[in-house]
Structure 1
Amino acid sequence: MKEFLKQNKRAIFGGIITFVIIAISVFLLGNISGYEARILLGSSLMGINMLCNTIILASATILALLLTLLGISSGTKSKLKDSHYLGVMSIAKIDTFLFIITLILFQLFNIPITEADNVPTIWFKVIYWATLIMSSMLSGLMVVVILMLYNTVSNIILIVGLKQDHPLLYHEKEKAKKDRKDLEKDNKS
């Protein structure tokens, strides 16, 4: 986990900054009553549903494009370290989580709560704030996925396209050191 946070520090900071900016914007609305929340919720649900649709489509597309990225990675003449593939797997895990959560929230946001007459007005205030916070979190998480993908694609461009030496490249010297360590372990056993 520590290694993941270290490798994806910029992406995580980008997601946190996105979340904070949106959350502060929402917080600046101030305190609202249950009736105001009901009206605002009714008008904001269309935009939140569009956000969910966009994130669902983007997440599914990213998962499909990761397969292409893996094809390029494995087709290169240079051998890539396991950390590259672990990074791609991390993107896939976060993206899948984002896809599933967004799909669930999309279904929840489609419940016609603003049309119900038997819901106490105080609930609308809670539901309104919850939807705004959840949409802020979804946006932040989407930024994390996009920035992680950008870092991975940049690395592949440097390695495959520009043929630059890169820390993700597996060198024969490293293989020899690893083999020597494995041999020493076997001799000690």
Structure 2
Amino acid sequence: MGISDLSPRYAELVEVVAAMHDGAHDPLGRPRYEHFERVAQLLLDRDPNASEDQIEAALLHDVITHPTGGFAKLEALSVSSETTEILRKILPPPNAKYYSDIENFTADDNKDYLNYIRGLAASGHRAAIAVKLADLEDTVSYLQAIGSETALKQLARQYEPSRQILDAAITTNPQ
């Protein structure tokens, strides 16, 4: 059973994300939109009681920055204010294409990203931390599967440390 099977609302959001990423595939050949389903599932695997807002945020976590998205798209989808707040909290710094352009990622970009992750961890916003952690867990798995020198370097210097920071924030501050 997938995320879409859990509720008609989740199925609707998966359709929206699939349309936004129509024809896009990751370097492993998987449809790009499947990343968002995996993130929602990882969130639920870690916390079966994750809120609907968290699940929606997991499914929509790049809508704000997507060329066909933005806050207007969130409004059109009638997401809650809490979902929007989670998405605001996990919005990465705007200075780099953190997921899609790892070949051109600089040391300064990495520093900015890790500072953003530290700030998220320090915020104590558990819902946002959990969503971002699920996103990072899928990204870590993806980079490991790619296995290229660039992917493994970026995994070691950015994504695995980020995952560890957020995992520690969730683990050391249980609800």
TM-score (structure 1 length as normaliser):
0.23
Flag the structure with larger Rg: 1
TM-score by length of 2: 0.25
Whichever structure has more helix as a proportion of its residues is: 1
Q: Which has the higher contact order (CA 8 A, sep 6+)?
A: 1
